[in-house]
Amino acid sequence: MTDYQKALNLIRQYDTIVLHRHNSPDGDALGAQIGLKHILADNFPEKKVFMTGDAAGRYAFMDGAVMDEVPDEVFPQALSIILDCGDAELVSDERYTKAAASLRFDHHLYKGDFTDLDIVASDFESCCGLLTDFALSEGLRILQPAALALYTGMVTDSGRFRYDSTTPRTLRLAAELLERGIDTNALYLQLYAADIEEVKRLAAFIQKIRFTEGGVAYLYNTKEEVAALGVSTFDVSRGMIGIMADLKGVDIWANFTEEGEVIYAELRSSLYNINPVAVKYGGGGHMKASGATLRSRDEVTAMLKDLDEIRRSSHV
Ligand SMILES: [Mn+2]
């Protein structure tokens, strides 16, 4: 039996299913959660399906992005499905540990199992792509609302189908979703149109870009700066990392953002596997996109040295 068949069997066995994903959700985490909720409703209308987790933030525009209040009593009879989450500590709603059974679909680099059946396929650009593959392989019906949510995850996690995680399979699966009738103009407006204040803020961050001696581009954002801008830490940390992506000669870039006693580090590369550096500081993610939570400015300096070292050792 394949893992997909095992997953489908688990889904069939339970009348109640709770859908989780990583905290501070992005388009892929929410797309997977909302998309699977629709798939379950459309294929197993008798099942009760809940979505649990923190609020959708800048992805609140997505249809059905409002989370459910899930009572404690639900879990002992339920199957918890965790989506787009590579780390037990990041699961939205830790009550999955109280569920009768648990299942995980993920595409982060494997760091170990934490559910009864972990389906981790890091060769997928997005968890939504993996779920689409699962649904199509198992003959589950995908209707338009599910397709829209899943497509949103695929397009955001693949950087508009641009990162090299994008494969022929990515586009074949995306095409299947487009067949269901997605208004891509409307979607891209919601995802990418910015108001003038946002563009000005972007310009301020662009002015702040600095470089290490080894040629790594980075931003360092203090608590005070974040507070003065009136935006969330997440919008700075995840939202501003991309501004360094297309600089000529830059193949590793990093964004450090203070919050409380910690500093969030986001690391990206167009060429190198920067994941081991994130893991060294307790983080994780993907080969070319990872993050970690640092404790001090010294750790920031040390991490930048490690990133410099990646470039130096591959240039000899
Ligand atoms: Mn993802």
Summarised one tens digit per residue, pLDDT across range 140-173 is: 999 999 999 999 999 999 999 999 999 999 999 9
How many angstroms does the Cα of residue 228 sit away from the middle of ligand 1? 30
Residue 316's pLDDT is: 55
Secondary structure letter of residue 138 according to DSSP: T
Residue 114's pLDDT is: 96
Its sign, for the CA torsion 90, 7, 156, 219, is: positive
Percent pLDDT > 70 in the chain is 99
How many angstroms does the Cα of residue 315 sit away from the middle of ligand 1? 31
**Parts of the chain belonging to CATH 3.90.1640.10:** 3-191
Instruction: Report d(CA 264, CA 126) in Å as an integer.
Output: 22
Cα atoms in the 13 Å half-sphere on the side-chain side of 11: 25
Helices (H), the chain: 3-13, 27-43, 127-137, 144-157, 168-178, 184-192, 196-207, 223-229, 233-237, 275-280, 297-315
Q: Note the CATH architecture for domain 198-315.
A: Roll (3.10)
How many angstroms does the Cα of residue 157 sit away from the middle of ligand 1? 6
Name 49's bridge partners: 17
Tell me what the pLDDT averaged over the chain comes to: 96
How many angstroms does the Cα of residue 229 sit away from the middle of ligand 1? 27
Q: How buried is 302 (Cβ within 10 angstroms: 0-12 exposed, 13-18 middle, 19+ buried)?
A: middle
How many angstroms does the Cα of residue 139 sit away from the middle of ligand 1? 23
Residue 58's pLDDT is: 85
Instruction: Report d(CA 239, CA 255) in Å as an integer.
Output: 10
Q: Which CATH superfamily is domain 3-191 in?
A: inorganic pyrophosphatase (n-terminal core) (3.90.1640.10)
- How many residues are listed for the chain in this entry? 316
How many angstroms does the Cα of residue 59 sit away from the middle of ligand 1? 14
Its sign, for the CA torsion 61, 62, 66, 67, is: negative
**Parts of the chain belonging to CATH 3.10.310.30:** 198-315
Q: What angle do CA 124, 267, 280 make, to 5 degrees?
A: 95
228-262 tens-digit pLDDT:
988 889 889 999 999 999 999 999 999 999 999 99
Which residue stretches of the chain have pLDDT < 50?
A: none
